[in-house]
Chain A
């Protein structure tokens, strides 16, 4: 049962991710990415990490992707224009080279991972409870946790300043 669920969810995740980068309309890309994230959330449940599964849905699918959707709708983005003047640094050649490089990356990762021995997941491991994570997060990792609040504050102020309309300049 678990095995079949893994293969089904993995197929959904890979297909949805492929479609994300194949779509010309950014709106569909965002919606497909939510599907991919939901499949990953299912995989986290299979890996006995319910906390990560839940925050994957709430934070990723719920907050970050809604932010993306909001921007896509706000800008009323046209679908990708296939042309525009072609310069050598942005033309088809370098992009094909990039695609080849990512295929090389995939092959390299395949080669590296397939050389790992003894990879059966241990059976009968209890689920990680939210309590375990909470206790460690607020003791061992408390400094990093406090730092993230500074990071969020900086990101918030920064994005407001970057995205605001420029105030009218007086040409004196």
Chain B
């Protein structure tokens, strides 16, 4: 098997990012949509760490730390919204929450 290069890691990250995007478009469950966002954030983290290894730097890993902090905050607020919405309509389909759309 060929040794992984920077490209292998970037490709893997691109594939994961595309999977996350597809999940956001295709799924109609708010929880799964939030999970797709987590997949995308992880794809970006992988890019940061791979490029870090390529350049021999540490800045990317520190940024990954910040990305994880933001992901934790985003998950907390997102899930709180999910709970509030579910309490309101007893469904998690985004199609049910179109009141703000004309």
Residues of A within 8 A of B (CB): 2-4, 6-7, 10, 13-14, 17-18, 20-21, 23, 26, 29-30, 33, 36-37, 40, 43-44, 46-49, 51-52, 55-56, 59-60, 63-64, 67-68, 71-72, 74-75, 77, 80-81, 84-85, 87, 89-90, 95, 98-99, 101-103, 105-106, 109-110, 113-114, 116, 119-122, 125, 128, 132-133, 136-137, 141, 144, 148, 151-152, 154-156, 158-160, 162-163, 165
The answer to whether A47 touches B9 (Cβ under 8 A) is: yes
Which B-chain residue is minimally distant from A120 (CB atoms)?
A: B5
The answer to whether B7 touches A21 (Cβ under 8 A) is: no
The answer to whether B76 touches A99 (Cβ under 8 A) is: no
- Docked CA distance A37–B96 (Å): 31
Minimum distance in angstroms from A147 CB to a CB of chain B: 9
The majority secondary structure among interface residues of chain B is: helix
For B5, B22, B92, B94, which residue has the most chain A Cβ atoms within 10 angstroms?
Answer: B22
Q: Which of B29, B31, B84, B94 contacts A162 (CB 8 A)?
A: B84
Minimum distance in angstroms from A170 CB to a CB of chain B: 21
The answer to whether A68 touches B79 (Cβ under 8 A) is: yes
What's the tally of chain B residues with a CB closer than 8 Å to chain A? 77
Which A-chain residue is minimally distant from B53 (CB atoms)?
A: A47
The answer to whether B25 touches A47 (Cβ under 8 A) is: no
The answer to whether B34 touches A68 (Cβ under 8 A) is: yes
Minimum distance in angstroms from B11 CB to a CB of chain A: 6
Q: Which of A71, A114, A158 contacts B83 (CB 8 A)?
A: A71
Contact with A along B1-22 (1 / 0, CB 8 A): 1111111111110111111111
8 closest Cβ pairs, A-B complex:
A98-B25, A21-B23, A155-B73, A159-B80, A106-B18, A109-B14, A119-B6, A163-B80
B98 at the interface (CB under 8 A from A): yes
The answer to whether B64 touches A60 (Cβ under 8 A) is: no
Chain A residue contacts of B10, Cβ below 8 A: 113, 116
Chain B residue contacts of A90, Cβ below 8 A: 28, 94-95, 98
Q: Which of A6, A95, A141 contacts B8 (CB 8 A)?
A: A6
Which B-chain residue is minimally distant from A109 (CB atoms)?
A: B14
The answer to whether A29 touches B1 (Cβ under 8 A) is: no
Q: Which of B54, B70, B83 contacts A121 (CB 8 A)?
A: B54
Q: Which of A17, A95, A114 contacts B25 (CB 8 A)?
A: A95
